[in-house]
Amino acid sequence: GAGVSQSPSNKVTEKGKDVELRCDPISGHTALYWYRQSLGQGLEFLIYFQGNSAPDKSGLPSDRFSAERTGGSVSTLTIQRTQQEDSAVYLCASSLMRPNTGELFFGEGSRLTVL
Amino acid sequence: GQQVMQIPQYQHVQEGEDFTTYCNSSTTLSNIQWYKQRPGGHPVFLIQLVKSGEVKKQKRLTFQFGEAKKNSSLHITATQTTDVGTYFCAGLVEGSGDKLTFGTGTRLAVRP
């Protein structure tokens, strides 16, 4: 595709429900990041995938959060038993090569609202 | 853990004034990238610096990478209302693999 695609763009859910957020990176990009951004705040790192290496999950805030990347392409971020504090914009980014030489391309984000 | 801090957190300037944001890392960075996020938008790549002491310019924007590769700055000359947004630095921390670490960001507001 032309850019990083994220879906849904908006998701409203009730507390306690599970949600899945999808990221379709630019074709051929080996690195994929998930970030969380609350209103007016910075980028909170969640998880990083690079090629076939084990993902860096050090930013996941709790065991309710998980992510996978199938076939080195599409990634899904799953939040189980959502809480109100999970409300934020979830941004996905991908890059062609290692960050030393590749810029990150961000998707438009998925805005999650937990009621 | 590794942290990349930016100062100031927020700055409000009169259109035409200059603006600078500083990015500081506790450890050496292999590279530094800068991104701009417009209100309601997503971060967009501006530039990458790799060499110690490197300086790059993009029109009214000047980017510097410190000699020790632990800090960087972005300077905007004669700000315009189109410069409004949050500026993030992001660095590759040496010894921590190839994961990019983002700074805390500086939000710029410009009075017309």
Tell me the mean pLDDT per 10 residues along chain A, length 115: 90 98 93 93 92 90 95 93 97 78 90 97
- Residues in chain B closer than 8 A to A46 (CB atoms): none
Distance from CA of A42 to the nearest CA of B (A): 6
Cα–Cα distances (Å) from A108 to A10, B34, B73, in that order, read: 11, 18, 27
Complete domains list, chain A, with CATH? 22-109 (2.60.40.10)
- Position A43 scores a pLDDT of 93
A42 to B88: CB separation less than 8 angstroms, yes or no: yes
- Position A100 scores a pLDDT of 54
What one-character DSSP code corresponds to residue A15?
T
Phi/psi zone of residue A16: left (φ > 0), alpha (ψ -120 to 50 degrees), beta? Answer: left
A42 to B104: CB separation less than 8 angstroms, yes or no: yes
CATH number of B37's domain: 2.60.40.10
Percentage of chain B lying above the pLDDT 90 cut? 84
Question: Strand B100-102 relative to strand B85-93: parallel, antiparallel, unpaired?
Answer: antiparallel
Residue appearing with tokens 């590794």: B2
Domain region containing B16: 4-111
Q: Are A98 and B98 in contact (CB under 8 A)?
A: yes
Q: Which residue from B31, B26, B37, B13 is spatially nearest to B88, judged by alpha carbons?
A: B37
Interface test with B, best of A98, A105, A108, A111 (most B CBs within 10 A): A98
Is it the case that residue B94 has pLDDT exceeding 90? no
**Domains in chain B, number:** 1
Q: Residue A107 is nearest to which of B42, B100, B102, comparing CB atoms?
A: B42
pLDDT band at B62 (very low <50, low <70, confident <90, very high): very high
Distance from CA of B64 to the nearest CA of A (A): 17
Q: Residue A43 is nearest to which of B33, B102, B107, comparing CB atoms?
A: B102
Q: Residue B98 is nearest to which of A40, A98, A105, comparing CB atoms?
A: A98
Q: What is the CA radius of gyration of chain A?
A: 13
Percentage of chain B lying above the pLDDT 70 cut? 96
Is it the case that residue B96 has pLDDT exceeding 80? no
pLDDT (tens digit per residue) in B65-90? 999 999 999 999 999 999 999 999 99
pLDDT (tens digit per residue) in B32-48? 999 999 999 999 999 99
